[in-house]
Structure formats: structure tokens, C-alpha cells
Homo-oligomer: A and B are copies of this chain.
Amino acid sequence: MTSSSLLPAGTAISGDYSGHYRPQLHFSPPQGFMNDPNGMFLDAEGTYHLYYQYNPSATIAGNQHWGHATSTDLYTWENQPIALAPDNSTAYIFSGSAVTDPNNTSGFFPNQTNGVVAIYTLAGPQQQVQDIAYSYDNGYTFTKYAGNPVLSAGSAQFRDPKVFWYEDHWVMVVAFSQEFVLAIYTSPNLTSWSHASNFSYHGLLGTQYECPNLVEMQVYGSNETMWLMYLSINPGAPLGGSIGEYFPGSFNGTHFTAVDAAARIADWGKDNYASQFFYGTGTEAISIAWASNWQYCNLVPTGPAEGWQSTMSLPRTNYLRQGARNQGYTLVSLPYDLARLRSSESTASTTNLGANGTLFADVSGGSGAFMLDVNVTGLNLTGLSNTASINFTISSSGSRESITGGIFVAGDSTMWLDRGGISGWDNVYNTNRFSTALVLNNTLDFQVVVDRSIIEVFALEGERSATAVYYSEALLDTVVLRSGNLNSGVSINAQVRMLNGTWGSGAIQANGTSVGQNSTGMVRRELVAEESWKF
């Protein structure tokens, strides 16, 4: 890349969100290449800010800027001008975080209580160091700090600072990526940092640690909170490429202690990386991940076909709870308030699919986004055959493509997902099949959200999630849900609902009506939650 590939901060980029592959309720960049979510914070006026690793000049990784978008509901995003840009083509703006500084600990904000500081890695040819930039206008424009770097360690692989306020000081967790060390630093003012502790050689190593998060979150069913160290590794994930893992534990302001030495993988698909948690939401832990994999993110067809590359996951609300049997604290992750996007009427539904039943739904003609929601009670695992299952096929009537999945409930109960029936795009790293083991009793639930080129599956109230991208020749327009050989007393409530698109420019609504083009692609469309049911 040459320096001419860099764009200055403040450059507005517009996009067309009507393309065949373009997700209608997930965030994707207006043009160019996106990877890790960065700097996620909730500002003083209730607006969520999402920054992201951004190459505005090409649909492959490189030229790292911070792209920017804002939302008040985490679904309806307004693209904002580039927030941070490299000064030159030898040092890029890598991943990091952002915080509000209401008490002016930094000294940058003598006249306001809504100052914002971004903390990011400046990745130069010799070293990666931590720089900061401050914003007087709620995070839309930044001034790089004259005293940068605020933290250097002489390392070429030292990156992805995640910063938060703890009682009376700032805390940064940052990765010495190729030494498998997550270092914890503390600061009174965001400009001066002291090393406090290391958390190292935990979990799957891959060949690099990246994008650590350390976040306090609620423990389900109690008034307590715990801390979670969240870590992404790349390459070298078990499924190939990149993946996230996490370690529940405790944090005392300087040291994180994991509850055990277990390695817990965050998502059983192949497209969920670099998850970051919003700053400023208290103990309501809301995350967004990059929904791709470094093995093929540069190669998927959205770039050549539509000029953009990569999608973010759904925003997710997270908490910890005791996993099934003795699995210890498990991260539970569910779509954040997706109910507001659901069509008020279901496309197809049944209050009891029965032990051997089929539900069909025609999901053509809408936004291309829809969801399947299945809730099972009265399950009796005793004596079931190995074929006892609740499976789905999501297919295209215009091509011979399908994604299949579901749950085989007998024996070692397993949830599975197969994207191998998609023929529109392929690659040697495009693993077809994923699965996860479930420990079931007499209930189960799963939800499937489909959005044109991404599918996300949640099971057991979010105890398990899978994220997978796919690139079909034709939009998937048919849902079939089938139960087979379950016990006679089982009760299965299932519904398929269209989901509204949220992109003003070319967005397509659940009923198939376009809201029309907008010249900038940046108009925010107001949405009203149709019901109070929280997904």
C-alpha cells in the first residue's frame, strides 16, 4: 500500500446497503474492508459508538484507520466520517478502546464532562506502542495527544489495549501477542501507565493472543457480578484461523485471577473474532464481534461484487451463569433486544409441532433477514432413538443451496450447523460443519437469525452460540423445521418471523417495501419496538 491509500480523519464514506450479500440489520462498512470492532463506548447522551479497523481504500486488510458509526439502539447505525487516520503509511492505527472521562482525570477536558479518550495501538515498522487521542465532541473527531506514545515496551507485538475505570484508577489490559501474555497496567490519568500484573499462557494459544477484554458482568440469577477475561487468538484456532475464548474470574484492580485453568471457547462457529465490550454500560455487558475469519476474510465475494468486506455480529448481551452439569461459569450471549426488529406477525408458527411435525415458512419477498425461534418443553430423553431430533433446513428456491442444522437430542445431545450446502462461494478454509455438545434435561430452546450472508444460532438461552458467514448464489427464502422421533409428551412452540432492515439507504423492510435511497447513505431511521418481549 502507498501513502496515497490513506484518507484523512473526517472523510465521509457512503455506501449502498441494498446489495445481494449486504446484511440488513447487522453492521457492515459502507465501503472497503473492516475487521476488529474498536473503541466501543456509550456516550453521555445515550449514543453507542462503534469504531472499527478500517481500510477505506480497498476490500482487503491494510491501511488501518478507525472507521466510525453511531446508533441509539445498536441496530440502526449511522455511518460517521473516519475517526482516526494514520499520519503516514509506516504506522497504522490498530485496535483499541475508548472511554469517557467525566472527571477530567486526563486533564484534556477542563470545560466539559463528556470528554472522550481513545487508546489504540500505533503499529510501526519496529514497534507497536499505545497512543491516545482525545475528543471534545463525544467521539466524532479526535486530536492525537502530543505526548504519544503513552506506553511502549520495545515490542513489535504489543497491541489492542482495552481500558476501563476501576474504582479510583484506569486499567488497561493489552496483549504481548507472541509471548502469550496479557499485561495489566494502571494509570491515574490515561497518559502515565504502570505495569501491575500479567495473565499468561491460559487457554488455547494459537500463535498469537489478540484483542483482550476484561469486563465485569452479572451472574445470572443472583445480585453478584464476576469478571471475565476475554481473549482472541489468531491464527491457530482449532477450527482454523481465528476464534475467541474466555476465562471467568475475579479482579482486584491490579490482578485478574481465573477461577480455573479451563479453556472455554466463546462461539462454536468459525466467524466470531475480536469481540469487544462497550465501555459505559455498567455491569450490563454488551459486545459486538467481527463476524469473519482471518483465513478467508480477504477472499469472500462481497468485496469484488459490492465493494465492502466483513460484517459485525449482532450486538449481544452477556452474562455468566453456571453451565450444565459441572462445567463451571459459562458465558451466556444473546442478541441485544432483537424484538424491536421482528415483524409483528409471524410468517409461520405453531404452538405444538409435536413429536413428528413439520413447519414451513416462505420468507421470500422481505428484507432477506428473518429468524426462527424454537422452544421445547416436556422433553423426555429416556428411550429416544438416535434419530430423535429437531432440525431445520433454510434453503433457496432459486438455487440448490441450503444451510441445515438443529439438535440431535438423544445420547450425547448435539447441536449442529452445516453451511456446506451453499455453493455460491467456496475456499479450502471454508469448513462446512460445526457442532457443540449439549447437556439437556426436559427443555431446550434455540434461535436462528439469518441476514443475507450471515447466520447466528443461539441455544440454551444463549449458553451456546455459533456465527457463520455464507455467500449463496440466491437469497435463502424457505425455512423448514422438522421434529422427528421425539417423545409423545413433547411440546414445541416454534415461529418464523421476518426481521426489519435498519439501513436507510436501500434498506428493505420485513414486508419487502424499500424505504428508498438516500443520497448520503447516512440517514438514521427511527424504529419503534413492536413489543416488549426481549429476545
Contacts and interface: CB of A to CB of B under 8 A. Distances in A.
Contacts of A412: 207, 234-235, 241, 294
Contacts of A179: 326
A207 B325 contact: yes
Interface range on chain A (Cβ under 8 Å from partner): 35 or more
A50 B329 CA distance: 40
A414 interface: yes
Contacts of A268: 238
A315 to B, nearest CB: 25
Contact of A262 (B201, B241, B260, B433): B201
B204 A265 contact: yes
A347 to B, nearest CB: 26
Nearest to A233: B437
A180 interface: yes
A429 B433 contact: yes
A433 B435 contact: no
B439 A429 contact: no
A270 to B, nearest CB: 10
Contact of A261 (B203, B234, B404, B428): B203
Contacts of A414: 235, 240, 295, 429
Interface in A272-318: 294-295
A527 interface: no
A262 B207 contact: no
Contact of A263 (B263, B416, B418): B263
A39 to B, nearest CB: 25
Nearest to A327: B205
A200 interface: yes
Contact of A328 (B201, B203, B262): B201
Given A178-B326, A327-B207, A437 B236 contact: yes
A264 interface: yes
Interface string A235-279: 111111100000000000000001011111100100000000000
B436 A236 contact: yes
Given A238-B238, A412-B294, A420-B420, A205 B433 contact: no
Contact of A325 (B178, B294, B295, B327): B178
Contacts of A203: 261-263
A324 B431 CA distance: 26
Contacts of A238: 237-239, 265, 268
A264 B205 contact: yes
Contacts of A206: 437
A385 interface: no
A430 interface: yes
A405 B72 CA distance: 47
A203 B261 CA distance: 6
Contacts of A263: 203-205, 263
A324 B258 CA distance: 26
A432 interface: yes
A202 interface: yes
Nearest to A201: B260
Interface string A401-441: 00010000000101010101000000011111111110100
Nearest to A420: B432
Contacts of A294: 412
A487 B389 CA distance: 52
Contacts of A262: 180, 201-205
Given A239-B239, A262-B203, A180 B433 contact: no
Interface in A369-425: 404, 412, 414, 416, 418, 420
A371 B373 CA distance: 49
Contacts of A265: 204, 238
A202 B261 contact: yes
A178 B240 CA distance: 28
A235 B437 contact: yes
Contact of A429 (B178, B204, B295, B435): B435
A77 B420 CA distance: 39
B437 A428 contact: no
A420 B205 CA distance: 27
B436 A433 contact: no
Contacts of A236: 436-437
5 contacts: A204-B262, A205-B327, A239-B239, A240-B414, A420-B420
Which 8 A-B residue pairings sit nearest by Cβ, starting from the closest? A238-B238, A201-B260, A236-B437, A240-B435, A261-B261, A235-B437, A263-B263, A235-B412
Given A207-B437, A241-B435, A416-B428, 17 more contacts: A178-B326, A180-B262, A180-B327, A203-B261, A203-B263, A206-B437, A207-B327, A237-B238, A238-B268, A240-B414, A240-B416, A240-B435, A241-B412, A404-B428, A431-B433, A432-B432, A432-B433
